[in-house]
Amino acid sequence: MPKAFQTFQIKPKLPKELAKLHDLSYNLLWCWNHESIELFRRIDRELWFQTYHNPVKMLGKVKQDKLNQLALDEGFIAHLDRTYNALQQYLTDTTWFETTYGKMTDAKIAYFSMEYGLTECLPIYSGGLGILAGDHLKSSSELGLPLVGVGLLYQKGYFQQYLNADGWQQETYPDNEFYNLPIHPENTEDGSPIMVEVPFPDRTVYARIWRVQVGRIPLYLLDTNTPENSYEDRRITYQLYGGDQEMRIQQELVLGVGGMLALRKMDKHVHVCHMNEGHAAFMALERIRHRRQKDKLSTEEAMEIVRAGTIFTTHTPVPAGIDKFPPALVDKYLSKYIESCGLTRDEFMSLGRTNAPSAESGNRSLNMALMALRMTAYSNGVSQLHGEVSRKMWHYIWPNVPLDEVPIGHVTNGIHTHSWISKEMSELLLRYLGPNWYRKPADQSIWERVEKIPDVELWRVHERRRERLVAFSRRKLVDQFKRRGAGRREVENAIETLMPDTLTIGFARRFATYKRATLLFSDFDRLKKIVNDSERPVQFIFAGKAHPKDSEGKEFIKQLVHYARQEGMRKHFVFLENYDISIARYLVEGVDVWLNNPRRPMEASGTSGMKVIPNGGLNLSILDGWWCEGYDTDTGWAIGAGEDYDDSDNQDEVESKGLYDVLENSVIPLFYDRSSDGLPRNWIAMMKASMKKLGPQFSTNRMVKEYTEKFYMSANTNWNKLSEDKFARTKELVAWKNYIKSHWDEVKIVKAVREQKETQVGVEINVQAEVVLGGLKPEDVVVQIYSGPLDTDLNIINSTCRTMGCDNKHQDGCHHYIGLIPCEESGLFGYSVRVMPSHPDMLEKFGLELMRWIDV
């Protein structure tokens, strides 16, 4: 096939009266603004669906005659002006961040993610991680954070799914047409593309920069499919999560190293970098190299300042889910880069190597999550339970630190409310909650007004969305059957599948085996009896993709399809192919119940069930991930009581029975319990309780505020403090740390005594300790009493720490410390004494991984 001699771009010719459509189509605010969506639908409703809700592509396909007619349509022009003015108002309004922290004209925070799920017409996401990243940017825009996003622009993105006649998943990889997407190529003044040069072994890989404007937030995406690269290097950004380990390390180099280079190219000199998973951990290397070169810092000094401005969010509750690169790949791709950072190979590899006493301890690969943990001052899991799981998983990094003090916190995930709520429900809430609901979706006091919504109105809106979900599912099912070459009768049956007034339960997510998509079918006869109850029928809609290399996940999908074909199930069960944002939106807006049954505790957070909350849907879930925090008896249903199992087969058996019991005894009776006016009053009461309590809590507006208050502003302040006066405090801190490490072996707690063995509630126990500090001074350390109730093995639990004071008395090199233990309740308690390094500029409490306990 002949290649083009030259390229040129054809743009739609918009009449001057419609010129504002260009700005509207290229700012993704439209994808969560119902007024904007209605405007684009108004241009050509059918074309809007054909172009997969892509305003840029649609405007390029609309006939010129139609555009000329619209330019003369006073109603349309009024709608256009109103929508455009709303965008301008949005971009200039005073935001929460500006009100709270003042105006910052330059971006201070960079958010790195391997994928972003922003809208269905920009398919550069695979699942929950990407959807969360997209929602993070949208809420950052609403709150006005000085933040930019960094990612990769994939030529083929993630795969498109279809099933063959036997129900086996097949994959296709259609190209993304970049010039027909709502993205901008970043060019120089002369129109040539802005490129970054990423150092690879024996060559340079070039990456072009594209921008997606997400409200107020720019998202910069790197693309290696450019003529300056070889064929192999052009393929680096072809597929999301495609290829082998070598392809993955190449992608992560472009994301991390190339991402930092791109920010500087765009004159974005950020202080704070946030890694959404460990894929971008090589970003820290580039920051170290840059600080060494630009500011003439030593490697240790550069690492210190980089840690001060880095946040790491882990989404992985099991070691098997983390990227690991063998030494040979690290040597091939990073040896020269490591050298430019002033590190030896062993020093670098030690950042990502584990010494855990497990089967993994023999694996000397570079663990990207471990490296990310060691290169950041702030780290967190994505739910309260996941924080606990993460502390256990990484405890070996800090062996002397008690488990509950392992420095990994949590910020529970949320959803961008306005992206996932239906237009009808949004209008209903606006009517009864007031305009502040739209501006402050995380404000609990505003959501309390849900009680004011008349039951009949709330139920009518919900029923309308269920009807639309059923109609949508039927159309999808007919298309699926036709594509597979199904017969006329099978296609006709698809038209009658599902009923608009039947209890509808949704299950849609990535088909990883731990999510147990087939748990519902553990007792098929019992399930058939449930769904075929003539008076209280139930129907299920499933959707989801298995990773192309996950045969077990594909087998789950095949089993589901075969179950759905059996007599008595066809009208009650459907599997929708090619799960994406569009399908997800119909599901979360229309289902009555969202089902989630992962194998606890392997669901780090899970956000799909959060999306039904503002739409009035209810959750039925294992107590895992976010549901541990969201569940109450009036907000939904729990399967089990949060038990942990050693035997997974036993767990599946117990929890499948629990699922059936909850359906038969609680969910179904409540849904079909109708008052004399036909309304399920008790069900509606639960809908309202769920919306009131959980709507503001599980919002990314709340989540992003929490990141800002816990991490972003602290990291920015510390960066500023440590970088002033040519990094004077950084240099002093590094020198202090080296001094501490060289003298730590001299530190010892030689004695600790308390006044009495027994006491009463309300009394304080006096504890005294003698500590040898050697070459250190009392201001170099903190001495603490670690106390709490005891378990049966005399381990301290539910601990508290209190700092002891040094009275400056010392004899024979021993310093005397005094502290108190308040006795606030009865029982058997214990205490210990410990000493740790302490410096006012040391951000990581256990960063030196040095701690001395009194010998037991």
Span 771-827, pLDDT tens digits: 999 999 999 999 999 999 998 888 888 889 999 999 877 777 789 999 999 888 888
SS3 580: coil
Name 342's Cβ contacts closer than 8 Å, sequence gap at least 6: 288, 292, 298, 299, 302
Q: What's CA 192's distance to the chain center, in Å?
A: 35
Whole-angstrom Cα distance, residue 165 to residue 530? 27
- Say whether pLDDT at 756 is over 80: no
**pTM of the full predicted structure?**
0.95
Q: What is the pLDDT of residues 578-607, one digit of tens each?
A: 999 999 999 999 999 999 999 999 999 999
Provide the token pair at 486.
């199904």
**Beta partners for residue 116, in sequence order:** 124
Are the CB atoms for 497 and 570 separated by under 8 Å?
yes
- Say whether pLDDT at 356 is over 80: no
Nearest residue to 159 (alpha-carbon basis) of 121, 118, 132, 124: 124
pLDDT of residue 358: 46
Q: What is the pLDDT of residues 683-714, one digit of tens each?
A: 999 999 999 999 999 999 999 999 999 999 99
Are the CB atoms for 573 and 539 separated by under 8 Å?
yes
What percent of the chain has a predicted confidence (pLDDT) above 70?
98
**Beta partners for residue 594, in sequence order:** 506, 619
pLDDT of residue 2: 67
Provide the token pair at 713.
């502003």
Nearest residue to 422 (alpha-carbon basis) of 617, 637, 201: 617
Query: Buried b vs exposed e over 32-51: b needs ≥16 C-beta within 10 Å?
Result: bbeebbebbbebbeebbeeb
SS3 691: helix
Whole-angstrom Cα distance, residue 14 to residue 381? 48
Whole-angstrom Cα distance, residue 124 to residue 122? 6
Whole-angstrom Cα distance, residue 106 to residue 678? 57
Whole-angstrom Cα distance, residue 204 to residue 233? 10
Over residues 713-724, the mean pLDDT reads: 96
Are the CB atoms for 272 and 714 separated by under 8 Å?
no
pLDDT of residue 327: 94
Q: How many Cα atoms within 13 Å fall on the side-chain side of residue 19?
A: 2
Q: Among the listed ranges 182-186, 273-277, 398-402, which one has the minimum average pLDDT value? A: 398-402
- Say whether pLDDT at 91 is over 50: yes
- Say whether pLDDT at 497 is over 60: yes
- Which 8-state DSSP code applies to residue 502? S
pLDDT of residue 847: 83
